Structure 1
Amino acid sequence: MSGVSDSGITVSKLLQKGNQGLGTFVRMDGELLLLDGAVYQLQAEGKIRVADQDDEIPYAAATHFRSQRTVTVKLDTKDSIDAVLEEFNDHASNLFMSYRIEGVFQRLKCRTVKGQEYDGQPLSELGKKQFVAEYHDVEGTIVGFRSPVAWQGFFVAGEHMHFIDQERKIGGHVLELQAREVNVGIATVNNVHIELPTSDKFNSVVMSTDDAGLKSVEG
């Protein structure tokens, strides 16, 4: 959110952290989706590329995903996912949850950011020029995390999810969704490891939790 995104870990290092995840790339050039050992860059205008092993990542969350339960559900809205997660574990509001949604989505609204136009440009400003696309009756996969409210800033409190279609041609950060019948694999996460940057730029910037800005760009 503070715009410090000009360096990070490599894709090859991220792949050591898990088999499923999301994030962004250097200078916030598009959305990142990690799925089954492959890292995809979901770029503006709906384009997708497989990331190179030495591409750098300033922010990502990843997990070694193994579903503890898979359910088949109808999702009327993005908020419907909360009800599914609560039914799985209604005592996990202060824990992280990871999930994978697979199937045909009746409607999806996704965004991708085009990358910083100048050094230090904050995400809240980038969000005003984000590319937004709506897809209908598209088959694919959503990778998501639900993070506790107390972790806002380190993560996106609540739901944070990225989509990629089955043919790996379209995708992005999910703003809205609707599905008649999809499979949702769910796992609770209570072991969290955090690695912070050590650059001078990261340590010199004044950081605060931009709650309003985060909500406006992450949906």
Structure 2
Amino acid sequence: MSVLWQNAPAISLQNGCFDGLTSVAEAKTHGSLGVGAFDHLDGEMVMVDGVVYRMHADSTAQVADDTDTLSFCMVIPFEPELSQELPDSTTTGDIGALVAEMAGTKNLFVAFRLHGTFGHLHTRSIPRQDPPYPRLEEVEHTQPEYHYTDVSGLMVGFSAPSYAGKIAPGGFHLHVVDDARTLGGHVIDFQDGRNLRIEIQRITRHEVDYPATADFTRRELT
């Protein structure tokens, strides 16, 4: 049975706990597929086939060092149960309903990979922050955003049930890295998907670590 592992609840990141908690090396022991954010929020993370990539604020991607640390991550040993070819012109707005339909439920976490060409791709990658850290929503207002055309790449995502609340990011959460492994980030939107194939895995076990750091234990979490 595959276990979805998180190194912290999502409310930690949402409230500005941006210090690194887990090394990349440790995260890789928990699986082969994942998303997250680095220490000081210095780049978005995507794990593909056990390789961890850092997407910098300028949207460039590079393989992360094992000693780099993550302020938040969701990782799973990915063992897809179902796959499906998607029609051309698929968009971001189609993904939530599609994943729920394939999974047969909205009440389980679902991990998925989506590969193909994205006619229009809109991403972000939050720049490094320094203490005292702001709330995540404040950082997102100033994040650099990027628009690309005809990007062939792989999206990695998780769909969370509504009852998960502040433990995991709500709805579905997508990160992308291109096939050349040179650019990527957090997916805001994509349009005009072509030659798309999605693979999903339903998740029936979820482990969450709770940081014993002073930043987390003393912070008023809202």
Do these two structures clear the TM 0.5 threshold for a shared fold by scoring above it?
yes
1:14-25 pair list within 5 angstroms? 14-25=27-38
Show CA shifts across 1:139-171 (max 9, x none). 110000000112132211111010000011110
Unaligned runs of 5+ in 1: 209-219
| 2:114 alignment partner, one of 101, 105, 115 | 101
Amino acid at match of 2:205: N
Amino acid at match of 2:123: C
Matched with 1:37 is 50
How far apart, in 2, do the equivalents of 1:205 and 1:119 lie? 12
State the Cα RMSD in Å.
1.2
Amino acid at match of 1:205: R
Residue 117 of structure 1, CA deviation: 4.0
8 Å contact from structure 2 (residues 116, 195) kept in 1: yes
- TM-score of the two chains, using structure 1 as the length reference: 0.91
How far apart, in 1, do the equivalents of 2:116 and 2:215 lie? 42
Q: Which moved more, 1:119-128 or 1:107-116?
A: 119-128
Amino acid at match of 1:69: L
Point out which structure has higher relative CO (alpha carbons under 8 A, 6+ apart). 2
How far apart, in 2, do the equivalents of 1:70 and 1:7 lie? 34
- TM-score of the two chains, using structure 2 as the length reference: 0.89
Show CA shifts across 1:59-100 (max 9, x none). 10011111111100035321201232132133x211100100
Show CA shifts across 1:103-133 (max 9, x none). 1111110000002143222111111111100
8 Å contact from structure 1 (residues 115, 126) kept in 2: no
SS in 2 for 1:79: helix
Residue 180 of structure 1, CA deviation: 2.8
| 1:196 alignment partner, one of 174, 192, 210 | 210
| 1:137 alignment partner, one of 124, 140, 150 | 150
How far apart, in 1, do the equivalents of 2:49 and 2:163 lie? 29
Q: Which of structure 1's runs of 4+ aligned residues deviate more than 4 A?
A: none
SS in 2 for 1:129: coil
